[in-house]
Amino acid sequence: MPNGVIELSYWQVSIAFIFVVLLLFMLKRRGISRERTLILASVRMTFQLVLVGYILLVVFDNAHPLLTLAILIIMIGFAIFTLFNKFKMDLNPRLKRVILIAMPLGTVPVLLIFLWGVIGVTPYYNPQYFIPITGMIVGNSMTGISLGIHTMLKRFNHQRAEVEEALVLGATPKQASHDIINDAFDSAIMPTLNSMLGMGIIFLPGMMTGQILSGLDPTLAIMYQIAIMLGILGGVSLTTYLFLMMGYKTFFNSSQQLNE
């Protein structure tokens, strides 16, 4: 039990898969056709985490700024690819370009401020801090943009008549889209705010739990968790805000009319 951490064997980890079997039973009992998705998700999660674990061992032992930069680019690129794939039938080329701009422009500044300003990582490219924190900020920002896209597409589709009426009455595209943008932004940040509301009393977040299990002083784990949650909030809000402020324009043509 090094550093106070209880080591897990492959056999012990395999016991946890009993919960997958339990859910399979529930799905079968209720006639819900999600068995294939559950099995695929479980196998894919296991494979990806094992692969990432071995990659991180190599990266930590061979720390280099270019390697850290490459991982940052891969994470952001994969997040963008995931968004493209999720909304592949709904995104026009202009909206895709907005995502390409908003994702790095919203996450990288927050990440650098957090790592160099809040934590003061030394060396500045230290992968032990850079990689996991990047994953949390980029992952949550991707979710924020995803919710923003979903709400914006839905609202523009359902409120097309109201937007066109506002344009006829002299409103600019920004004014006509005001409520849609606000609703999309609210939808994007709400999961993060809900997590913050319940954190500590209702549940202990994963990062804090992991640090406590590793033997870290709980008060220090709390300080880290507060900081990372504020960093996630910054990444989600800035990324989504940039996306929405640029994205709504793609629904209008050069004559300030809604696209057909």
Which residue in 101, 96, 155, 132 sits closest to 207, CA to CA?
Answer: 132
Burial 198-211 (b: 16+ CB within 10 A, else e): eeeeeebbebbeeb
Contact 241, 185 (CB under 8 A): yes
Contact 100, 41 (CB under 8 A): no
- At 120, is the secondary structure helix, strand, or coil? coil
Rounded to the nearest 10 degrees, the angle between the axes of helix 127-158 and helix 160-168 is 80
pLDDT at site 100: 96
pLDDT digits (tens, 9 = 90+) for 126-172: 888 898 889 999 999 999 999 999 999 999 999 889 999 998 888 89
Q: How many CB atoms lie within 10 A of CB 144?
A: 28
pLDDT at site 187: 94
pLDDT at site 247: 93
| Geometric angle at alpha carbon 165, from 160 and 170, rounded to 5° | 130
Mean pLDDT of 82-96: 90
pTM for the predicted model, two decimal places: 0.83
Q: Report the distance separating Cα 17 and Cα 49, nearest Å.
A: 15
